[in-house]
Amino acid sequence: MPELPEVETVRRGLVPVMEDARIAKLERNRPDLRFPFPPRFKARLEGSTITALARRAKYLLAHLDSGEVLIMHLGMSGSFHVRAGAQTGERVADGAYYERDRDPRHDHVVFHLDGPAGRATVTYNDPRRFGFMDLAAVGDLPQNRFLRDLGVEPTGNELDGVLLAGLLTGRHTSLKAALLDQKTIAGLGNIYACEALWRAGLSPRRLARSVAGKDGAGTERSSRLAEAIRSVIADAIEAGGSSLRDHRHTDGSLGYFQHEFAAYDRDGEPCRKPGCSGHIERIVQSGRSTFFCPVCQR
């Protein structure tokens, strides 16, 4: 499943064609994705202008001039493809690309847009149909069932050692499991949790509460981990995310942060930390693969 850096990369790819564009026509080619589309989905979108395209955790939020917000989640295999002023398969001046080999049977939603840069189509393709779309009034977003319980974003200075310690105080689960809890940190997934723990030199198996001080006070460990989370997410966004299995950019290109992995998917390889003699090991925690160095991650 795409994690926060991949979703942010998709958002940035869609902004030039979607922001300030009017939805002239919407094609909905099936009645549902993971969930049924909301009532009058097509009618509520057609004629609206997208005033801003934002992101919350792994969700894309298209703010409309109607006062509603289109909430979109990519699921396991969802992707957006842009075509602007060209025939299928042609590169165009704005860099958009429409892949020839995409199976059109899985083109479930097509946005026909009129924007400042001209006409464009944005197609949502999802072979597994684990993604979904919802509509909500902007004032109802804090209570929306998909967004209301999300934790802090790992992309700004709000996530520091003191805040992280408070979030982990009293948590008897493993540190890795606590980091994957979206109520703790929104958008952090398996790949980047492994990478952040490696950067921080902390074992994924230690108890989450062991990172916090007394009464939730910040510690050297919590500060180190907060910085590692922020830096790995920032580096991954800068690299365009990680292209594993289904993920590609909206222009068809690949992210390349997977070439920077220090822990994830490196089972048996030497640890890259200077002076460390360890090798990366793989264990399973809560049904998910965890990669770490047992020598330098304590």
CATH code of the domain covering residue 123: 3.20.190.10
Instruction: State both tokens at 215.
Output: 């009464």
Residues 136 and 170 in one domain: no
Catalytic residue, chosen from 3, 8, 153, 195, is 3
Coil/strand/helix, residue 72: strand
Same domain (yes/no): 9, 137: yes
| Residue of 56, 58, 224, 266 with catalytic role | 58
Question: Over the stretch 240-293, which tens digit does the pLDDT of each residue have?
Answer: 765 444 444 445 544 445 657 999 999 999 999 999 999 999 999 999 999 999
Helix H or strand E encompassing 64: strand 59-64
Q: Is the residue at 155 inside a domain? A: no
> One of 22, 38, 288, 294 is an active-site residue; which one?
288
User: What's 239's domain CATH number?
Assistant: 1.10.8.50
* 128 — pLDDT class (breaks 50, 70, 90): very high
What global pTM score does this model have?
A: 0.88
108 and 79 in a common domain: yes
In a domain, 150, yes or no: no
Domain end among 110, 143, 176: 143
Please check whether residues 100 and 168 belong to one and the same domain: no
pLDDT at 94: 37
Please choose, from the candidates 4, 89, 9, 3, the residue with its C-alpha nearest in 3D space to the C-alpha of residue 254.
Answer: 9
Whether residues 200 and 264 share a domain: the answer is yes
**Same-domain status, 77 and 118:** yes
Residue ranges making up the domain that contains 263: 161-292
**Judgement on whether residues 138 and 13 belong to the same structural domain of the protein:** yes
Within a domain: 34:
yes
In a domain, 281, yes or no: yes
Look up 288 and say whether it is catalytic. yes
- pLDDT over 80 at 93, yes or no: no
**Whether residues 210 and 120 fall in one domain:** no
Give the total number of structural domains in the chain.
2
Nearest to 154 by CA among 187, 105, 177: 187
Active site residue 3: yes
| Res 186 pLDDT > 60 | yes
Domain identity same for 67 and 197: no
Considering only CA atoms, which of 233, 229, 254, 187 is closest in space to residue 13? 254
Is 135 in the same domain as 182? no
Average pLDDT, the chain: 89
- Tell me how far apart the alpha carbons of residues 274 and 261 are, in angstroms, rounded to a whole number: 15
Q: Are residues 185 and 112 in the same domain?
A: no
The verdict on 100 and 188 lying in the same domain is no
Provide the pLDDT confidence category of residue 172 given band limits of 50, 70 and 90: very high
pLDDT score for 89: 41
Q: Write the burial class of residue 98 (CB in 10 Å: 0-12 exposed, 13-18 middle, 19+ buried).
A: buried
Asked about 58 being catalytic, the answer comes back as: yes
